[in-house]
Each structure stands twice: as C-alpha cells, then as structure tokens.
Amino acid sequence: MSAVFSEELVAQVVEQFKITDLSKATIGQVVLVASELERRTGIPFIRMDQGVPGLPPNRIGLEAEHKALDSGVAAIYPAAEGVPELKEQTSRFLKAFVNIDVSADSCIPVTGSVSGSFGAFIALTQREKGRNKVLFIDPGFPIQKSQLAIIGADYEQFDIYNYRGEALRDKLESFLIKGDIAAIVYSNPNNPAWICLEDEELEIIGELATKYDVVVLEDLAYFEMDFRKPLGRPYTPPYQVSVANYTDNYIIMLSASKIFSYAGQRIATLCLSDTLFNRRFPDLGERYNGVGIFGPTLINAILYMITSGCTHTTQFGLAAMYKAACDGELSFTEDTREYAYRAERMKRLFEENGFYVVYDKDVSEKIGDGFFFTIGYPGLTSGELMRELLYYGISSITLNTTGSEQHGIRACTSRMTEAMYPVLEERLKAFKHNH
C-alpha cells in the first residue's frame, strides 16, 4: 500500500512556496501546499486544515441583508458604535443563551472576531502603564499572537493540558502575581483541542481576574457547540458557561462565522461588561486626548481607526439572526450539530488505524465531538505527523503552532463530505500499513 503523493513532489511544492520549516507552517501555507498538490495531480485532499464553515449560510441573515440593501443603507456610513437594532439584539442574545445582563450600549459590532480581538488587545495593553502583556491559556488561535506582534505587545502562555480543574489556580497566579498581565485569552469550546473549560475553572479565572485587575477576553467563536449538553434553548438552562458569571472584568467575543455559517460576511460582536465599558483609565485618556472611558475609547479611538465601522447590511443580517434565535424561530445548535456527527465518524476511523486523540478529556468527562479534534500517532512529533499525512492526501496543522506542548495535529471537520469517508478510511489504512 503506497502513499498518495511522493516525498519528492511534496518537497517541490514546499520549496515553491518558500516554506522553510513545514512543522511551523501557518494555516495559510498548509492550504497553499494542499491546493497546489491537488492542482498538479487532480487528486483531492482530505481537507482538515482551515476552519471554514461547512454548512450553508443562514437564510434569515441573507434575507435581512437583502432587505437592508433595498432600503438604501449601502449609501450611508454606519455609526461607529453599531446600529441600534444589532446592539439591542446582541444584549437579548446574551440574556437568552448565557443568562447574563449586558446593556445594548456595551455590545459593539466588529468586522469579525479577528478585528475585535485586535482592537481589544490595543485598548487592554494600553489601559495602564506597566501592564502590557497578554496571557494565553493555550492551545489557541495563532493569529492572536501575530496581532500582538503588530502592536508591539508581549505575551505569556502555557498549555492547559496538565492544569485542569483546581490545578489551574496556582498556574494562573504564578503569572498574574508579577503585575504586568493586562488580559487573559482563551476560547471555549477550544480551538484547536475542543476542550471545554468547566464552571469551576471559569470561577477560578474570574476570581483571579478580579483580584489582579486583569480583563478576560473570552472567545466564544464556537458558541454552544458543547453538544454533550442540551444547549440552544432560549431563556432555558443549561446556558453557555462563561467567566461573566464570576467577574466584571470581561469581554466576550461572539462571531457569526461558525454559529450561523456567516464567515464571508465578516461580522461579530464584542460584548463588554457594563462595569468595564464605563470604567475610566487615565492612561487611555492621556494617550487619546480624552476622558479615558474604556468603551467609548475602544469604539471611537481604536476600532474606528481599523475598519471605520462594520458593513451596514451585515449588521442587520446578524441582528435578524440573533432575534430569530431569541424568539425560538432559529435553532442554530441543531444546524451546527452536524459537526459533531462528522467528528465522531472521523475520530473512529483514526483510532481504528492506530491514531489517538491527544486532548481526550475535560475535568469531569470525556471530550465532546465538534468542529475540531486533535490526533497523535505513536513515535511521531507534530511536524513529522503533519508531513507524513500530506503524503497520504490529508492536510492539517501542527499543535505546536497553537501553543500546545503535546505532539499531534489539529483536525477540522467542517469540509468533510459523505463521499470522502471511504477515501479517508483507505488512506488511513495505508498509513497504518506503512508505519
């Protein structure tokens, strides 16, 4: 049983794109390599590299955007703080599905969560002199570290693999006690490991954030995708767990990209606690020649300078989807549950052929199935496994690029199709036979 692509061909393509170290390749570089190999040979890849939605965009959003276009908003600059309808529906959405109270004023539309985190990092690392580092609870989204490089801010990081539950407290405090951490960042469910922080862990994070005056940037890109729980029912427990239950020092990022399969429209919302939104920071006032109130400074002095507001029609599209979800007319979790079905099937095929799940459990239960999962193979490092899988027509990214200290790769389920399961099984059997 042979590989799909020769080592020589893969090496040629890697050289073509001037990738010096494939084990450290970015998501974009891996996509280029896989696409070029497909183009040269006509042989399709199992695409587990880029986390793009694999479901149709939500019709409610599209129809609302069409209506907004017909009303003429394309000729009007959107207000920097966002259209009132979206701000109000975001506030409702948080109450309906997280059970927290955030005023409409404190909900800010951004051009995707990437834009939102970029602006938030600027404000958070400038709010107080001497407090300019960000702490990443890894593994995480590599782009966020790249954003800090652009603005010249530093960061600390640690892999949570060995620090679940109460063990998280001492580990976090060892960083926070130094006094230079401005913010803590994590995603929940996690990209790439799909671990889910549990309430006891979020309580620890919230308590320490308050104690050390650190702001938590909670990335909920995969909102309510812990499919082990009956989530997604408006105003009905259980709710999406959040650090917002344990501190007022938080910013929640909600993205339409995966929740509503709306990635191409680049729309998300930053949701600040009302306490943080209205808090005054003299250092921000001095830098931006204003009073230094956090929320207005973030909106008018930072986010507006990055994108000059969000596309007008997409704001109305997202508002309509939030509203339909709150009104019980849109069951977004039933749509996204498809990713769990794919993950369960894909994981089983990997495990039947000698692979293992790297991040395999949360504090109290086995890890769930969803948008991502992590895979390792005995005796192979992250870089070796990613390269070897390329030979068998399977693309992925290495865990070391996400801040993980474990050996393995991240697998994304979003682009898997029914026709590709037999192909994946055949290629994994060949991999096992040759290893």
Q: Is the peptide bond before 238 cis (omega within 30 degrees of 0)?
A: yes
Domain-ending residue, one of 326, 351, 370: 326
pLDDT at position 22: 84
Q: Which domain CATH number covers 379? A: 3.90.1150.100
Q: Which domain CATH number covers 93? A: 3.40.640.10
pLDDT at position 127: 97
Q: What's the chain's average pLDDT?
A: 96
What is the average per-residue pLDDT within 298-311? Answer: 96
Domain-ending residue, one of 326, 358, 389: 326
- Neighbour count for residue 328 (Cβ, 10 Å): 12
pLDDT at position 327: 98
Supply the Cα-derived Rg of the chain in whole angstroms: 22
The tokens for 18 are 């001037």
Domain-ending residue, one of 326, 343, 361: 326
264 lies in some domain = yes
Both 228 and 371 in one domain: the answer is no
pTM of the model: 0.95
Both 309 and 343 in one domain: the answer is no
37 lies in some domain = yes
Contacts of 302 (CB under 8 A, 6+ apart): 119, 122, 123
Question: Residue 146 belongs to what domain range?
Answer: 59-326
32 lies in some domain = yes
pLDDT at position 50: 85
pLDDT at position 285: 97
Question: Measured between alpha carbons, how far is 35 from 158 in angstroms, rounded to an integer?
Answer: 33
Whether 1 has a pLDDT exceeding 80, the answer reads no
The total domain count for the chain is 2
What is the average per-residue pLDDT within 295-307? Answer: 97
What is the average per-residue pLDDT within 232-246? Answer: 98
Predicted confidence (pLDDT) per residue in 151-204, tens digit: 999 999 999 999 999 999 999 999 999 999 999 999 999 999 999 999 999 999
pLDDT at position 324: 98
Both 82 and 230 in one domain: the answer is yes
Assign 26 a pLDDT band (cuts: 50, 70, 90).
confident
